A and B are shown apart, each in its own frame.
Chain A
Amino acid sequence: MNSIIAILLTSMFYVVVGWQLTYMLGKISKIERLGISFLLGNGLSTFVWFILYRLGAQFDLLTLGFSGLTVFLVSYFINKLFKFKYQNLVIKKFTGLNLKIIYLVVILLLISFVIGNYNPISGWDAVALYDFRGHTIALNHSLKDLTDGSYYLSYPLMISLDHAAIYMLKGISAQGLHSIILMAFIAVVYGRMLKWTNSRLSLLTILFIILNEEIFSHSTVAYTNLAYVVYLVAGFLYVISPKEKSRELGYLFVGGIMIGLTTWIRSDVPFWMMGIVLILIQGWKLRAKILAVFSIFLIYQIRHTWLSFFTGVLISLSLRNEGLSNPITLNALKQISSSVPNIGIINKIIADLPEIIRYVYLYIFSPYRGLWLLTIPIAAVVIKKKDYRLLLLFLTILMSALMVTVGIMLFSATYPTWDQIGGSARRMMLFIVPLSIITSIYALHLIKTGRKYNA
């Protein structure tokens, strides 16, 4: 019971912190507002908490409260300055099949919360990394014992700081928070799809997403994969939301923050670059170049804040000549120092090409074969309907396929054990599940209505 109370208190705190920032999204439903304010509050208050720690404060509930207050006040002043106001989109009452779908969705989400809370935290990284860091931060109010080697800092701190907050509130297990992250995502997707399509299709979209076993099971374990997917896909959805010459430019800003926050969850994957491409396209299309540059600056700043700290720790470890024998440290240093492929790397990639193709097929294509199959009819709808938003969604899927293939090629040339972590590669692509489902249902809606453009 302690855990449930602590998780709910933490979640409510995040919602309050992020609430003001949602005003810049204009007219949105309460469900979506709850979801996005939780995600923004969660990411930003833990991020400011970390900055305060870097400035000399301790990790405790008081400084977490102060971090939340800072985010809240800054958002408040942005709203005052740009005259953003609270506007509520009223959702019609659910009836018939829609009501049944919403019952099913709510029941599934509650079951996910129950399972997550009941089961002990298990799984290698969940126990030894994310939750361990949460426990030690709650105990020491600092990163003591976590900066002695690179392993404990191989991922940014957001999820562990979430856990730490829950343990400081006397919770026993923080695992239940991960199903709240899924709930928030479902609320965001529902809100977006409701604006883009209709009530039935938006409900079907969230049902399809929840019924994907990989997504559902990840909401009951304390890994970073789900949180990463949630922030990345929600970020994409907000960036591509504004239509041509629209005044809803706050979406670009919120989308930028969400994509930036993905690097506060996992800094080892490069999909934030896709967000930058989308922001640049939107900035150009919407004639909001300054806002686009500012959003990109936010992404850079969030990523840089963590990476500069991590690099500093690695350098101090290497100066102390400790941890250098650790392959994780070496790989991390290599990752930071070498990103430009040379002739040797290109030759190695060419030599390994058949093995790389087999690997991509086995771990990237095959587990999501149905979803990749969807790209064929989506391409047909893109050509036929010439819908700008669908084009951006389709482009995002194509970019992710390209990026992961190139990434695996570079990875294969740098890491000798590259072909032994197929499971990680598969989980890395988890975001393709909601992204493909959203894109295909949006395409279905376009075929049905035959409209060229939807609000």
Chain B
Amino acid sequence: MHSKYLWVHLAILGITLGASFLESVSYIGFVDKHFILPAYTWYVLSVVTALVYRSANFHIAKWLKLLSWSSILIYIIFTISEVLTYPNYIFTVLHINLQALQIFVLLVSFHWLVSQYYLLNTTLRLAKSLIFSALIFVATEGIGLSIAFLIKGLIPIIKHPNATYEDQLYNTHGGFYPAIQLIIQLTPANSLILIPPQGNPWEVEGNAPIVTYFLYPRQVKNLETTIPETNKPIYALIAKGSWPRTSSVDYGWPKVPINARQIWQFDTTNHTFTTYMRNYSPQTDQWDWGLIEVKHE
């Protein structure tokens, strides 16, 4: 009885782990496509035989423990590598499907744990093994992603430990933040600032709530067709578009001539500007960053 069930259990366990491993190095559904039964059938079958087979076998437990810890470690390393490089990095380089590998980790952990709790009754044995293995399943992913997150978060701090909040804003928002600082310098607090329409390639500089955040208490508005009538001093942003172009809309804004008192061309690297006392023309003045002081009609 003991040895007969042992061999049945071992055979099904072998097929199960083999099927899961095959799907890890190919894709989920591979076993279903190329063999008689889908992998999930074997997974369920192996759970049943593991529960029926109740004797202690320390050799099997030892090997499953080793396999479990190795697969957990490999999965964590792969997850960290993937986050620190690019999505699908592991599949591209090693042809290993991380989602399927996670199922492999779950199965190995489950079979290792279920072999430990052979004294418990069947329901509690299943429950305890499944809870532990599902927690391992969740934690391996969590640990990998969290370590990668910590590395990404700590590297800039270690590189620039004395950076101020202002420095961080300059680093995070590229040309946009220096341009904003120059606008604050050049415009009164009660002015109206006209910005490009929200969309590609003005994803940030065309986003009125985001621009308002930096320019408040100045009022910010997306320019539609005509310059709005107001008693406030009006300015219009000159912006090429800081996002890569993905639509049919071309770089450069404003696209129409605007009567101006003066226009400023920004040098966001050196935080300086050049002043021109003339009207704005899209032919000559579509700079990366600049500002127009609009002449009231």
Contacts and interface: CB of A to CB of B under 8 A. Distances in A.
B122 to A, nearest CB: 10
A374 B131 contact: yes
Interface string B80-121: 000000000000000000000000001000000000000010
B128 interface: yes
A128 B212 contact: yes
B73 interface: no
B124 A381 contact: yes
Given A118-B156, A136-B216, A444-B131, A211 B139 contact: yes
Among B131, B157, B168, B213, chain A packs the most CB atoms within 10 A around the CB of B131
B135 A115 contact: no
Given A127-B213, A220-B153, A440-B135, A377 B130 contact: yes
Nearest to B171: A120
B283 interface: no
A120 B164 CA distance: 10
The range of chain B's interface size is: 35 or more
Given A111-B153, A127-B213, A128-B210, A378 B131 contact: yes
Contacts of A118: 156-157, 163, 168
A216 B132 CA distance: 22
B113 to A, nearest CB: 11
A51 interface: no
Contacts of A173: 165
Among B137, B146, B154, B173, chain A packs the most CB atoms within 10 A around the CB of B146
B138 A213 contact: no
Contacts of A115: 150, 153-154, 157
A377 B126 contact: yes
A5 to B, nearest CB: 14
Contacts of A131: 213
Given A120-B168, A440-B134, A447-B127, A213 B149 contact: yes
Given A115-B154, A145-B217, A443 B127 contact: yes
B267 interface: no
B154 A374 contact: no
B174 interface: no
Interface in B153-196: 153-154, 156-157, 163, 165, 168-169, 172-173
Contacts of B135: 208, 370, 374, 437, 440-441
B14 interface: no
Contacts of A151: 209
B127 A211 contact: no
Contacts of B131: 374, 377-378, 381, 440, 443-444
A111 B216 CA distance: 32
A250 to B, nearest CB: 31
B168 A384 contact: no
B272 to A, nearest CB: 23
Nearest to A211: B142
Contact of B134 (A114, A120, A139, A377): A377
A443 B132 CA distance: 11
B213 A208 contact: no
Contacts of A135: 213, 216
Given A111-B153, A378-B131, A211 B146 contact: yes
Among B106, B137, B149, chain A packs the most CB atoms within 10 A around the CB of B149
Nearest to A119: B168
Nearest to A171: B165
A412 interface: no
Interface string A97-115: 0000000000010010011
Among B143, B145, B173, B209, chain A packs the most CB atoms within 10 A around the CB of B209
Interface of A: 3, 108, 111, 114-115, 118-120, 122, 124, 127-129, 131-132, 135-136, 139, 145, 151, 172-173, 208, 210-213, 216-217, 220, 370-371, 373-374, 376-378, 380-381, 383-384, 437, 440-441, 443-444, 447
25 contacts: A111-B154, A118-B156, A119-B153, A120-B168, A120-B169, A120-B172, A127-B213, A128-B209, A132-B209, A132-B212, A135-B213, A135-B216, A145-B216, A208-B139, A210-B146, A212-B142, A216-B146, A370-B135, A374-B130, A377-B134, A384-B127, A440-B135, A441-B135, A443-B127, A444-B131
Given A114-B157, A437-B138, 18 more contacts: A108-B146, A111-B154, A115-B154, A118-B163, A120-B169, A128-B210, A128-B212, A132-B209, A208-B138, A212-B142, A216-B146, A216-B149, A377-B127, A378-B127, A384-B124, A384-B127, A437-B135, A440-B131
